[in-house]
Amino acid sequence: MSRKKTERQLNLVICLLSTRRYLTAREIRATVAGYEEAESDGAFKRMFERDKKELRQSGIPVETGGGDMWSDEEGYRISRAAYTLPEIALLPDEAAVLGLAARAWRHAALGDAAAGAMMKLRAAGVPTDSDAAPDLTPVLATDEPSFLPMWQAVRDRRPVEFDYRKPGAHAPERRVLEPWGVVNVRGRWYVAGHDRDRGERRVFRLGRVAGEVRVLGSGPPVRVPEGVDVRSVVRAHRPEPEYTARLLVAEGAGHELRRAARRIVAGAHTGAGQRGRPGRRWDRLELPYADLPALVGAVARFGERVVVEEPAEARAAVADHLRAVADRAPDGGDGGAVPEPDGAGERRVSASAEQLRRLLMLVPYALSHDVRVPEVAAHFGLSERQVVKDLALLWMCGLPGYTPGDLIEVDLDAAEETGEIIIGNADALAAPLRLTADEAASLIVGLELLAELPGAAGGDALKRVGEKLRAAAGAAAEEFADSVAVRVDLDEDEREKQRRCGEALRAGQRLHLRYLSGYEDEVTERDVDPMGLVVQDGHAFLEGWCRLRGGVRLFRMDRVLDLTVLPEAAQVPDSARRRDLSAGVLQLSEDDARVTLELEPEARWVAEEYVCSRVEELGGGRLRATLRTPAPRWVRRLALRLGPQARVVAPADLAEKVREDAGRALEGYRGG
């Protein structure tokens, strides 16, 4: 069935490309091979509508216009100007960065689009280097279910309707939005646009969209106001610090607070009598903050090692927060064993659609290059057997009439015996297919991600290849690409550290790091033999052989407190392998502890921020979420941060340790 469908659709493409006028559906049914199998008018209509839809989804511009001059019946054709990919000439450095940009999407929602774009460019003879810069691994994740429908709504300029749960809200609210664009800022996707009900511009985080996004098909297309920069709209959405808190922080603790502090007075307090903590040395921090609840959580997670001195309202709020945890009665149940969910099915393009695209790329490439079966297989990432099968199907297609003079000529004997590819009478398919809006935008956004990274590409190659892609994509695709953006927002210190990592990689030198653990509130000294740089959305990671741990580790660059390039050669063991990032940067293990939390509406962000193996709605906006972690102590800090907004359900001993942690921390506020 799949082979017959591919033949029929390829015959339809050849027919509509070759006609000079619009053909009616009646004429197409009578002349295009494959439609004679339709047993009734209704069956033909369903078959033809599906074919048109699938061709358009593959980027084939089936146009509708005037058909039969004696009736009002509409007709169809494919304009060669709209079908054909304009010529693109890339220099070697441009081919390298283009291959790198395509790799950014390989594990994400637009992986198929980026891969399709690269295949079309190869079919047109455009040089692309998919193996460029092996030391750099850009990764764009799109885990939010709402990403694809929102992306498509922006592309098609259609309004959307969805339920949105604001932080702390008990129930989601219905929103109708005219979307202007989607933006990734530091690893999170946002949509910006005009909220119809509120009559104002709004920004929504896609991870907080509840349920399905409904694209509204009726009404005029969405118009983006003149001069609106979507990235600026999203960036302006974040509040600026307005207040200052004074904290006492135990020596060697509270490292993340120290990094955000405006001022640190070392050794401000020492000795006995410091709020029940004899013998400790304390530093005083002045910490800016914009939101009191956020400050309370940021302080509480460090337990007894951080105490708020002032303002008084912040001090009282932290004490109340900790008291709610310390005084909580133990849960009577064990939380129950939580089974792991089955893996979600991956999105797949149908076999017939995939084969049709291959054929539309294989023919122009073979006609314009003196190539053999092994070369074509290597060029398109296929098996030699698949190339021969595609050629055999091509041999059955051609212009209506389907006489020997109408059919495409393929020497299958030569292909099978010597690998030589001889194709004739295929002028209708000689032109390479233009990039779709999704394909062009996926590459342009990938280039934008690279442009945000220091040292990712030399010179102005990124700018040059971006301009060439936009020119080749057409006005609609270019306009769409301008509505999508990725923003990394590295500070100068982080850019400098990343630049030095790149230099060490190229020179093969060892690095010394002072590194703040993401699980523990501790700084360790590490000697690392670098293996590569990974960019997951807005975060850069150094991947290397850690001599302290004796294994391959990922080090997030914004947690590297200090970096030194050592005057000695890196020595990565032969057995060391770079990580498979198909499931993301976070590497889970069957040995990880499983911790179940019950989350109030204010804490639902936990399920958005961290990878959960199971999430269950409890009603009233509450959730039960199961996390997997190699560091249960990190969950104790998370539970202290959440306070009364969350409860550890299982394991019971961890819940008891959280209550004990809160009780000890509360001692710092007695009598204050």
3-state SS record for 274-335: CCCCCCCEEEEEEEEECCHHHHHHHHHCCHHHEEEEECHHHHHHHHHHHHHHHCCCCCCCCC
Regarding predicted confidence, which is higher, 320 or 355? 320
Give the least confident one: 40-44, 103-107, 148-152, 470-474. 103-107
pLDDT in tens, 385-440: 999 999 999 888 999 988 888 899 999 999 999 999 999 999 899 888 888 888 88
Enter the DSSP assignment of 132: S
Provide the pLDDT confidence category of residue 450 given band limits of 50, 70 and 90. Answer: confident
Phi first, then psi: give them for residue 356, nearest 5 degrees.
-60, -45
- Identify the CA nearest to 177 among candidates 156, 208, 204, 151: 204
Check pLDDT > 50 for residue 336.
Answer: no
CB 78 within 8 A of CB 35: no
pLDDT in tens, 554-586: 898 888 999 999 999 999 999 988 877 665 556
CA 488, CA 186: separation in Å to the nearest integer? 5
Give the least confident one: 159-168, 214-223, 481-490. 481-490
| Mean pLDDT to the nearest integer, 287-305 | 90
Q: What is the pLDDT of residue 71?
A: 62
CA 163, CA 165: separation in Å to the nearest integer? 7
* Paired tokens of 621: 């906006």
Positive or negative, the CA dihedral 421, 427, 430, 436 is negative
Give the least confident one: 181-190, 235-244, 267-276. 267-276
| Mean pLDDT to the nearest integer, 189-200 | 91
Positive or negative, the CA dihedral 353, 357, 363, 369 is negative
| Mean pLDDT to the nearest integer, 644-667 | 93
Regarding predicted confidence, which is higher, 530 or 492? 530
- Identify the CA nearest to 29 among candidates 73, 69, 88: 73
Q: What is the pLDDT of residue 339?
A: 45
Phi first, then psi: give them for residue 68, nearest 5 degrees.
-65, 125
DSSP string, 144-196: -TTHHHHHHHHHHT--EEEEE--TT-SS-EEEEEEEEEEEEETTEEEEEEEET
* Paired tokens of 609: 């921020």
Check pLDDT > 80 for residue 485.
Answer: no
Sheet arrangement for strand 243-250: 263-270, 281-289, 243-250, 306-310
Check pLDDT > 90 for residue 17.
Answer: yes
Q: What is the pTM of this model?
A: 0.65
Mean pLDDT over each residue of the chain, to the nearest integer: 83
Q: What is the pLDDT of residue 538?
A: 62
pLDDT in tens, 130-148: 655 556 666 666 777 888 8
- Identify the CA nearest to 434 among candidates 121, 84, 102: 84
| Mean pLDDT to the nearest integer, 443-457 | 71
Check pLDDT > 60 for residue 654.
Answer: yes
Q: What is the pLDDT of residue 583?
A: 55
Regarding predicted confidence, which is higher, 314 or 240? 314
pLDDT in tens, 513-567: 999 987 888 899 999 999 988 777 567 788 899 999 899 888 988 889 999 999 9
| Mean pLDDT to the nearest integer, 207-217 | 89
CA 600, CA 568: separation in Å to the nearest integer? 52
CA 164, CA 161: separation in Å to the nearest integer? 10
CA angle 465, 469, 470 (to 5 degrees): 120
Check pLDDT > 60 for residue 334.
Answer: no
| Mean pLDDT to the nearest integer, 464-490 | 74
| Mean pLDDT to the nearest integer, 467-484 | 75
Regarding predicted confidence, which is higher, 510 or 167? 510
Quickly tell me which residue has 């999203």 as its tokens: 234
Q: What is the pLDDT of residue 130?
A: 60
Phi first, then psi: give them for residue 330, nearest 5 degrees.
-60, 145
**CB neighbour burial string for 405-421, b if at least 16 within 10 angstroms, e if fewer:** eebbebbeeebeeebeb
